Amino acid sequence: MNFILFTNCNILDVVNEKICKGSILVEDGVIREVGDVKDPEGAEIVDLNGAYVSPGLFNCHTHILMSGEPSISHNGDVESVVNALENCRKLVSTGVTFIRDMGGSRFYDIQLRDMQKKGKICAPEMQVSGKNICMTGGHGWDGGREADGPDDARKAAREQLKAGADWIKLMATGGVMTKGVEPGSPQLTEEEMRAAIQEAHKVNARTATHAQGTEGIKNALRAGIDSIEHGFYLDQWCLDYMKENNVWFVPTLSAMYWIKKNGVEAGIPEWAVKKVNGAFDAHKDSFLRAYKAGIKICLGTDAGTPFNFHDMTAYEMILMVEDGMTPWDAIKSGTINAAQLCQVEATHGTIEPGKTANLTVYAKDPVSDIHNVMDVCMTVIGGKIAYCK
């Protein structure tokens, strides 16, 4: 038996929204006891000196092959893989223990996921989507799988599933990061998305959509999508439908924030900055209305877009709180909510016996001051200390 006991902790109970002092006993990567725990004979003792221990942080919208460069250019094969390995290290060093990667290229994301499972790379646990599926010339065409018509969309989904994708990513609208397309314009049709979604659901895979404009969001919802990414222009019909049908929302506030903050002066193309400025306020408004409506919200950053670096995942929680969410709900968005979105809540998302020992350790209380999420002093993945400050 391999025991490790984390003592002198302030443990975040994200279900009951309380913080309790105690210890966490881990055996062979699984949490065995929480609270007043006796030291097992031969256990490794890790004294956390009053630090705050949260369930491991999720980032539910990353692009690990992308570096966050302002130029919005795609890298070659070798550079993409080097970026991914460095980005994974950055994620781990800032408390991220699980990611959902939303559109890679050349199936490198699938290979990296498999290497992480085998313990060959330092990285969070992963669910991945392979190539995003878009219309010809649509948003993400340069790294995605272009498809036209329901039959081709169905085949494209089958290709991703054959390669080993956990999720199917569909492009319902234009976006900020592709020149010549508009965030508000619909792209893949309802019928095209329905065909791809049916293929995914046949094998219990999940589906997500890049969806910014209202008409495209509605197309995706009617087609049966599982999560809406970005959601710049959510109207009341969208909110009602998402609430009634348990559709998740991953707003990725960070992606817009970092482009607007840095602007053309930092080298971001003017056409991208213009699109962000045009949709920025609507995006914030959609987020707040979705939150107030009780839509299920998960933390995702769209990491890899300009200046949206992989070591800034936790900043999304700060933006959520600044835009109207409570600190507890922001923390839940990156823990228990995210585990439910990824359908791993039986093993992840809370600190309790029987769960995988994925832990994020903050030096100070993140509930009393959400800015403390930026001060991570330890990351534990599968019961092993993957990072220690």
Which of the residue ranges 75-89, 210-224, 324-338 would you say has the lowest mean pLDDT? Answer: 75-89
Above pLDDT 70, what percent of the chain? 99
Domain count, the chain: 2
Average of pLDDT values for 117-145? Answer: 96
Same domain, 358 and 290: no
Looking at the structure, do residues 40 and 96 belong to the same domain, yes or no? no
CA dist., res. 343 & res. 349, Å (int): 10
Same-domain pairing of 21 and 110: no
pLDDT of residue 39: 85
Domain that holds residue 378: 3-55+349-388
Give pLDDT, residue 77.
86
Q: Look up the CATH number of the domain holding residue 12.
A: 2.30.40.10
Mean pLDDT over each residue of the chain, to the nearest integer: 96
314 and 259 housed in the same domain:
yes
Same-domain pairing of 45 and 69 = no
Same domain membership, residue 64 and residue 41: no
Residue range 238-262, pLDDT digits in tens: 999 999 999 999 999 999 999 999 9
Q: Are residues 356 and 253 in the same domain?
A: no
What average pLDDT does the segment 134-138 reach? 97
The verdict on 113 and 208 lying in the same domain is: yes
Q: Are residues 330 and 357 in the same domain?
A: no
pLDDT band at 40 (very low <50, low <70, confident <90, very high): confident
In tens, the pLDDT along 67-98 reads 999 987 767 889 999 999 999 999 999 999 99
pLDDT at 312: 98
Same domain, 207 and 334: yes
For residues 97 and 344, is the Cβ–Cβ distance under 8 A? no
